[in-house]
Amino acid sequence: MKRSEINRILKNAKAFMAEKQFMLPPWAYWGMDDWKQVKESTQKIRENMLGWDITDFGSGDFYRRGLFLFTLRNGKLNVDKKPYAEKIMIVEENQETPMHYHWSKMEDIINRGGGNLAIELYNSTPDNQFDTTPINFTKDGVKGTVEAGGKVVLAPGESICLEQGMYHRFYGEPGKGQVLVGEVSMVNDDALDNCFYEPIGRFPVIEEDEKPLHLLVSDYKKFL
């Protein structure tokens, strides 16, 4: 991805979150110079991968297969005491986050506003394939079941609990607009706890055609 494209996505994301009155912490808006001035006191932010996160999953087409995220809080297993994480995401119409599950993390995915979020589900087999069994889930505490590969649609205000080993892919329902999506979960570890059904690139390779508007979590080691 080009840095100019990432900067445009960041600008659009900030505008959409402002429209939905979702506020980020002050450090979200820091530039490179701000980070360098407070490097020693922001170790926790960098180590726990808090902040801006944009990926095209290696597709080369962000709006077809990609995701915008901001990690607001996160612990680090066997390092600190925090056992939970929280993210905010923006999902475009028909923009796919590909099939994956987590070995350790249980999460709630919440439609915070905008359009509808469609989520397709499979149980996983011990060898990481799709199971053919029905999927039992809870939507805002109410039990439900879909067949393998079935779809659950979340309207604004609705949420679903995704347990460990539950394959899921999601996208914005066509014709409904962008979706502001929350995630409340156990500790998030993108390095060790993501099992994607097909090989993907989790963090983008960035072509530096202009200066970063804000640093991504994948930029911290590079620039700081």
Give me the CATH number covering residue 69: 2.60.120.10
Number of domains in the chain: 1
Q: What angle do CA 75, 78, 83 make, to 5 degrees?
A: 35
Give the number of other CB atoms < 10 A from CB of residue 114. Answer: 19
Query: What global pTM score does this model have?
Result: 0.95
Show the domain range for 130: 3-223
CB 170 within 8 A of CB 100: no
User: 97-101 and 107-114: which strand pairing?
Assistant: unpaired
- The residues, ordered by sequence, that sit 6+ positions from 174 with a Cβ below 8 Å of its Cβ are 93, 94
Give residue-wise pLDDT tens across range 125-165.
Answer: 999 999 999 999 999 999 999 999 999 999 999 999 999 99
Please give the C-alpha separations between residue 217 and each of 54, 70, 211, in angstroms, as whole numbers: 9, 9, 16
Give residue-wise pLDDT tens across range 1-47.
Answer: 999 999 999 999 999 999 999 999 999 999 999 999 998 899 999 99
Closest CA to 8 of 96, 68, 95: 68
| pLDDT confidence tier of residue 78, bands split at 50, 70 and 90 | confident
